[in-house]
Every structure is written in structure tokens, then in C-alpha cells.
Structure 1
Amino acid sequence: MPGVSPHTLRGNASSALIGAHRVLLAKTTAPLLPLVRLVRGLLDRPPLAGTGTYRFTPPRPLAFRRRSCCLYYRVPGTGTCGDCVLNPKERRRPHDHHRADRRRNPGGGTQHVWPLPVDEATLLDLVTTVFTDHWQHIHFGPSSKAPTGRSAPRTRPPPSP
């Protein structure tokens, strides 16, 4: 993607992971430890390592602070994202007001553009599949190449328990 740095793309991928994590937390009644362990493992390993600060200690809500700007504020008519690094904590929009939540189907319906399954087992399977089975296909830009011109070794996230 020309014009967007790999650092920003990695931050956006982390923020998307946190968004999926928030949806799962809101929908699940299952034990949280496997999900928290999976998310923490993904954020602690390259290429997502160092992209933000993650904190989740129930009963307090999940907290995530990016270390890069997603550039969302540059879209006309928008504000900042819920994980914004540019604004002080008290000025950030709540995470449930992300732009993707406000989009409508092309046919004018009221469902979200990308409806997610609502049962916790299917949601957890979806996140696990995307971030484990398809990890090698996720491209994070030029910085994923080693300085010698060879591809840097890819790391896989930890297996789910």
C-alpha cells in the first residue's frame, strides 16, 4: 500500500485484533483465559510486537493504546479512533463508535457491512483461524524484508490451548 508505512499497517493490524477481542469479550460467556492468552501472544511477537500497550484485568475493561497513528482522522468528517495515540485519554472516542460500526450495507439495510457470528465459539474460531492459519499470508509492507533482500523469517503466533 503506497503512502502508508509498514509501522502504521502493523499498528492497524493490532488495533483490528483488539477490535475483534472486544467483540468476543462482549459476546462470550466462556472462560476468557484462552482468548486473552491468544491475543497477548499475538501482540508480544513480531510483527505486532511493540505496536501498542495492552491491558486486560477483569472486572476493568480492556485497555489498548496504540504506538502509531492509524491516520483515520484524515478521512473527511471523522474524528479519531478509539485507540488514538494523538489524543489524551479523556478526549478519545469510546471504542464502540468506530467508523466500521456505522457503515450500512450497500442495499440500504441496517446490518453492519461485515456481520460477525454472534456465538462465542464461532467468533473464537474465526479469530484463531485468521491469526494462525492465515498468518503467513498477511503482508506488513517493505519492512518485513531482511536488509539482505531475503525475506525475514516469519513467526507464527502461539497455538491456542
Structure 2
Amino acid sequence: MHPFVADLKAVLNTNESFDYLPFGDWTAGGCGLLAESLLRLVPDSELILVGRLAKSIPDHFLIRVPMEGDWLYVDYDGLRTHDEVIADFRREYPDKADDISIMPAAAFDFDPDDPDALFWYRDSVPGFTRHLERELGPIDLDRLDLAWCDDGPEPSLP
């Protein structure tokens, strides 16, 4: 496991972190809160949606960051490439496999009649962001580099 992912999961799997979620976990219901908070902490990151987007159904929020001429996607499940995110969702939802796509949240046409449907967590973002920053310390792009998977030190929270 990548050291940053181990650090992140160690923080997220605590009662203090779960207190920010009224329901669900970090992959179902809490992904938006996590992605919005990471967006504020990780330089050059962008909020991303994955799901049945052609049918106007975003299923998941995550962030992506530029990494060595490509994109690296970040969420509770780890650090993945575009193709790995798509493959993971197709495995998880085989009956919807052909409908899965990824796009920047800024390009998605959210339902104007229900602007809060996906953003119920927005009031929690500032507090949760401070919590993550306090527990994880600074998150720069070097900390997310995939080279740490093989060569890096063991996870160490600040």
C-alpha cells in the first residue's frame, strides 16, 4: 500500500473522522466530503466525477492531480490511473460497465432544480479539511508520487 494511502486510511478510519459523516462511509456517501477537503489540501488538484455521467448520474467524487505527464486519481481506495478507476467501477458495477465515465466536476451539468443533492456535506468541508490537515500534515505532489510504493518509507503520521 502506498504510504500516503496508509496514512489517509489511518486518519479516516477513526471515530473523529466518522463524526463528520451523518451516514455512509468514505466510498459511499462520504466521497464528496473527502474529495472536497483533499481539493483544498493538495496543490494542483481538480474535483472529478466518475459514474454514469452520460445519464446524468454521478456515482462518486474524487480528485486528480498531474503526475509525470498523466493524471493520478485520489480517493479512499488509493492512488490510481484513469484506466484503473474505470476498471474498478466496471468490476463493482458490471451491469453498468458500458456507462462508466470520468469528467471534471466543473464540466458536469448538475440538476439546477436540486443543487444540494450531491453537496449535502458542504458545511462540513472547512472543519473536516482542518482535521485532515492537522492529522496528515502537508500534502504535496511528491508525497503522492507512485515511486513511494516500492521505495518509500513506512507510513508516518505527523
Q: TM-score, normalization: structure 1?
A: 0.29
Higher relative contact order (CA 8 A, sep 6+): 2
Q: TM-score, normalization: structure 2?
A: 0.29
**Higher alpha-carbon Rg:** 1
Higher strand share: 2
